[in-house]
A = this chain, B = another copy of it.
Amino acid sequence: MSLNADGAPRRRRGKELENALLDAAWAELTERGYDEFAIDRVATRAGTSRAVLYRRWPGKQDLVRAAVEHNTGEGPAIAPDTGSLRGDVVALLRQTNERRRTLVTVLMTRLGGFYRASGTTLADLAEAGAGDSIMHEVLDRAIERGEVEPGQVSDRIMQLPLHLFRYEALMTLRPVPEQAIEEIVDTIFLPLVHGNR
């Protein structure tokens, strides 16, 4: 039970209490991760009892969700206007970097335990699925055939098709449609490799 400075019992209500609860939940989430997140501990941390939490959120996932929303809502992003396309896009990415908190924190809380436990990262798992070295092999053969000039293709461009493919697979959690595969290769990868010949 929370006490006043003079030791009298004190009862928070409404928004004040709710904020304290969500802040405590958020702290637990970021400190211990989703796997070890317990309503019990949130209540203790907030200096109240579990009943108060259950009165507001039916279960763990609802509370987690509320805590994430409460602590990451930052309003919509604003389109930068620097006067040039390059400047705008660079500014947009920089801005996203700062606002990245939302997504990354959610992912960390969800994946953190698994990462720690397995010593694996998302990138390792992707790597295991289709090693980036394979693109090296493919490119080397293209160079041998004279399709591509040696040293012309940066690492980032070389990995581009796989990265875009995986991004799409991750976002949709579905097989990537054939049409998307061909679009990636024909309108993005090959033009970059061949310098729009």
Interface on A for B, CB 8 Å cutoff? 35, 59, 61-62, 64-65, 76-81, 83-86, 88-90, 92-97, 99-100, 102-104, 106-108, 110-111, 113-114, 117-118, 120-123, 125-126, 128-131, 134-135, 137-139, 141-142, 145, 147-148, 154, 156-157, 160-173, 175-176, 178, 180-193, 195-196
Contacts and interface: CB of A to CB of B under 8 A. Distances in A.
Contacts of A131: 76-77
B85 A147 contact: yes
Contact of A93 (B78, B103, B147, B161): B161
B196 A85 contact: no
Would you call the interface of chain A mostly helix, strand, loop, or mixed?
helix
A187 B156 contact: yes
Query: How many identical chains are in the complex?
Result: 2
Contact of A92 (B78, B126, B160, B161): B161
Given A94-B181, A161-B89, A141 B188 contact: no
A54 to B, nearest CB: 16
B175 A188 contact: no
Contacts of A176: 93, 97, 100
A130 B95 contact: yes
Contacts of A172: 121, 123
With a 10 A CB-CB cut-off, give which of A138, A157, A161, A189 has the most chain B CB atoms.
A138
Nearest to A168: B163
A163 B164 contact: yes
